[in-house]
Structure 1
């Protein structure tokens, strides 16, 4: 998909906000290594610029979801530790070695196959053992299998056992009974191991902010971007500064008579003579059709999105005639008012993680 530099729609990413969020997190978790999650193009913020800003702030390493995301970072000149959190096929292990990418193991079958595949390698592959304590996603379920994997890793030269981790499914909720259950399961696994590896990590953003754990490494994700992991359920323990703004401009403004339909399907009809503005952003950019009925800011004033959001454009109802080229704020601050990613998420019935990840490559990112 081509990046549309020659239209006024753009995402603005405040790298200083990201650095401030990291400064607060590093102070909050003194003595622990912090790896930041930059998967999914940095949650829509831009993986490479965010990674470089994070490393300038003093974090230890980076987390991605796929080998290709890690390769992108390496080819941009980043040489910090990179942990891939997704399952990797045996066939791509040579790439993991070439680009010095740490990967997880979740089954004994994979571990044994990896050992065979790496027999001719000139260096060992860094491995983190994934433990499923109740997320049901990836990882060993049985403690005895974790112990077997640890002993096997210590007995071979093809791999280096660098870490062990689990992931909590309810760390962002006020009720912590299930979190405690998962935490206890993980601690029991650790007690059965012959030794502990360099990195023991369970803390995502939510766990880091609201829970105490025995790990020595944090996987800091959504909070780095200034977003509360719980949405609005819990109050963060230190300030978070949102880094992403989404802006555009009015490309056409016209007065439409009463009784005219706006957009596909005529789902909106003017109740009187109305000023209608067109904004060049649509669902192909990740600003989905469910945004109909929500609002944007124009000169600080709330303007409703009327009619269905189109693939490339949307229409808004203006309070008066406004000049073409006037700034439109879809996410961010404008003249004392603000639209947050959380508000957008609530309107479409999802979470702010998904909203930021939906923004397509077609929208250029500008870094300040």
Structure 2
């Protein structure tokens, strides 16, 4: 999808805020803890290459979800280790080796498939994934973990790390978190050969469960200044949101009482009203359920009226404003603010999804 550079809709990314967030988080971690920066999904919509280049000196390893995300970073000049935290198919091992990408291995079946296909693991570095209760990928038994580590080494791979992922570290009720932590800690402590890097803490665990941090943390959403829990748990210290979303009025008209707006004629003016059109829609990731939410114009909340279209939204203005007047969808405008979490609450989802859905049609501008 091509970025629409010739329209006023743009995302602004404050790279200094990301720099600052890393230093703030690191200041609260145990000494010598390795910092893994999660830049998967285009750095949660912030731009993986731009972000990674700026923070490379501050972090120890980058985490991505797919081989292609790793290749993108390598081709952009990133030298630090890159861990693919998602599962890959055995046939893609040679590509991972070619681009010096760390691979997650999550089952004995994966190793057996590699051996059956006669693939060499020489030159491959891996992290073992343990399913401590998330239910996605990973070994669930100590016996399997020991066999996997032994088999990978015999096949020529270097087993650098072992990790798990928490399902509820961002919730007030920590009972499931404690069960997973106990399971993973017990398994690691009983390994016949323990890898050098042991990591379990995601953003939430890094913020609220520092007592259980192991040798490394994987920080994702907090890197970008957002609260992993939405607003269920207060952040233990301030972080700086790095993302804002802006556009501008491209059409302004006065409509009479009773006039309808948008597909399905779902909105009718109650009186004479000023309606502004803003060039963003569900093709950009500003989804149809945003009808009834508000944006900011001149420091004032303006409701989105009528259905969200593929390319446009319509808003009710308090007065006439000229074409080109700034419209803030996420961020500060005057003394008012719209947060990513507030957008997520409107959609009944999480702030992660809001950012990841914003398409490449929206250009990113960096400062």
TM-score of the pair, normalised by structure 2: 0.97
| 1:273 maps to 2:272 | yes
| Offset of residue 43 of structure 1 | 0.5
Equivalent pair of 1:118/1:158 in contact (CA under 8 Å): no
For the pair 1:31 / 2:29, whether they are aligned, the reply is: no
Deviation, 1:117, is: 5.1
Q: For 1:286 and 1:203, how far apart are their aligned partners in 2?
A: 30
Q: For structure 2, which runs of at least 5 residues remain unmatched after alignment?
A: none
Structure 1 residue runs of 4 or more that deviate by more than 6 Å after TM superposition: none
> What are the Cα deviations for residues 317-362 of structure 1, in whole angstroms up to 9, with x where unaligned?
0000001100000000011110000000001110000000000010
* Corresponding position of 2:174: 176
CA contact under 8 A between 1:247 and 1:330: conserved in structure 2?
Answer: yes
**Residue 258 of structure 1 corresponds to which residue in structure 2?**
257
For residue 140 of structure 1, give the secondary structure of its aligned residue in structure 2: coil
**Structure 1 residues 249-328: aligned runs within 5 Å:** 249-328=248-327
Match of 1:166 in 2: 164
CA apart distance, 1:116: 5.7
Q: Name the SS for the 2:87 alignment partner.
A: coil
Q: Match of 1:198? A: 196
Shift of 1:106: 1.1
Tell me which residue corresponds to 2:79.
79
Structure 1: state its 5+ residue gaps.
Answer: none
Counterparts of residues 130-145 of structure 1 (less than 5 Å): 130-145=129-144
The structure-2 alpha-carbon separation of the partners of 1:118 and 1:334, relative to structure 1 and needing over 3 Å to count, comes to farther
Q: Tell me how far 1:196 sits from its aligned partner.
A: 1.9
Report the 3-state secondary structure (helix = DSSP H, G, I; strand = E; otherwise coil) of the residue aligned with 1:306: coil
Change in CA separation of 1:64 and 1:74 when aligned onto 2, cut-off 3 Å? same
Partner SS state of residue 24, structure 1: helix
Q: Distance in 2 between matches of 1:119 and 1:275?
A: 66
Equivalent in the alignment of 2:351: 352
Higher mean Cα deviation, 38-47 or 112-121? 112-121
Number of the residue aligned with 1:17: 17
- The residue aligned with 2:89 is 89
Q: Does 1:7 align with 2:7?
A: yes
SS of residue paired to 1:201:
strand
| Aligned equivalents of 2:98, 2:340: Cα separation in 1 | 38
CA distance in 1, matches of 2:362, 2:118: 41
Aligned to 1:49: 50
Tell me the distance in 2 between the aligned counterparts of 1:234 and 1:344: 18
**Match of 2:366?**
367
DSSP 3-state at the match of 2:304 = strand
Residues 249 and 327, structure 1, Cα contact 8 Å, conserved in 2: yes
Q: Does the Cα contact within 8 Å between 1:151 and 1:194 map onto a contact in 2?
A: no
Contact 1:150–1:193 (CA<8 Å) still a contact in 2? no
Q: Is the 8 A contact 1:124 1:157 kept in 2?
A: no
Q: CA RMSD in A?
A: 1.2
Q: How far did residue 111 of structure 1 move?
A: 1.4
Task: From the superposition, tell whether residues 96 and 118 of structure 1 become closer, same or farther in structure 2 (CA, over 3 Å).
Answer: farther
In the alignment, the residues of structure 1 paired with residue 37 and residue 163 of structure 2 have an alpha-carbon distance, to the nearest angstrom, of 15
Q: Which residue number in structure 1 is paired with residue 70 of structure 2?
A: 70
Following superposition, the deviation at residue 113 of structure 1 comes to: 2.8
SS in structure 2 of the partner of residue 86 of structure 1: strand
Q: 1:98, 1:184 → 2: CA distance?
A: 37
Rounded to whole Å, the distance in 2 between the matches of 1:126 and 1:49 is 26
Judge conservation of contact 2:56–2:78 (CA < 8 Å) in 1: no
Offset of 1:60 from its aligned partner? 0.5
Question: In structure 2, the residue corresponding to 1:209 is in which secondary structure?
Answer: helix
Q: How high is the TM-score relative to the length of structure 1?
A: 0.97
Cα distance between partner residues in 2 of 1:219 and 1:51: 14
Matched, 1:225 2:227: no
